[in-house]
Amino acid sequence: MSGAERLRGKVAVVTGGANGIGLGCAQRFAAEGAAVAVIDLEQDALDEARASFTAPPLLVSGDCTDAAQVEAFIKRVEGELGPIDILVNNVGQGARERKAPFLESQEEVWRFVVEINLFTTMRFSRLVAPGMAARGWGRIINMASESAVIGPVGSHDYGAAKMAIIGFTRAIARELAPRGVTVNALCPGPIRTRALERSAGEEAKKAVASIPVGFLGEAEDIAGMAALLASDEGRYITGQSILVNGGRWWL
């Protein structure tokens, strides 16, 4: 079977998929034959993303931290596209403009970072995993980060949330493996995305200098690994935390 056919007949959901890594995954899945549904808070970005697909995906504006909106989205996907086979829990972010050293940090920011990263991952997984298990086939791909293992200064909340995603991944991978469902975590390193562009400058230069392969990754580098894990070719891979970072750090 060629790569272009690996996901034909599958229904894939990507959270936070209007740009960056999420959009890269959605585009790759669609190119490989999947029917794709994306949820993202930014309607303008969704509208812009629509033109990048040859087959029109289901693009929905919604808040992934709102349980009612998430449940309504999943029901809509199942009603319009069919049972969900593949879930990429991509939505997440750091504290961004509220980022601070731990000694100056605020609990409200911790809560936001944990909610947008960890709780969204658990929320979506809880909604789709029962159906996958009942049908005997499913793929859940959780977006962690190399920050979980590197522990950069100022990423106490983000690193904690992403490491929690790794623990969650391992626990449900063990539970769901006998039911034909694989669960893995991808841990991207520096990737050329809007978020990295916003922090461009010395920080970005230092990141590039620390990558043994000598260049920033692209969203397609993460999407390629996600497509492998989502396909039948990834059937023997589960519970793993896979660093995709140009060799910047190893497990």
Positions marked catalytic: 158
Secondary structure (3-state) at 91: coil
Residue 167 vs residues 148, 235, 239, 242: alpha-carbon distances, Å: 11, 20, 9, 13
Q: How many CA atoms lie within 13 A of 112 on its CB side?
A: 12
Tell me how far apart the terminal alpha carbons of the chain are, to the nearest angstrom.
32
- Category of 44 on φ-ψ map: left (φ > 0), alpha (ψ -120 to 50) or beta: alpha
Tell me the sheet residues that pair with 11: 35
**Using CA atoms, how far apart are residues 83 and 77, in angstroms rounded to an integer?**
8
Q: How far is CA 108 from the centre of its chain?
A: 24
Tokens 């969900």 sit at which residue?
Answer: 84
Residue with tokens 């809509």: 76
Instruction: Write the CB contacts of 151 (distance below 8 Å, at least 6 apart in sequence).
Output: 159
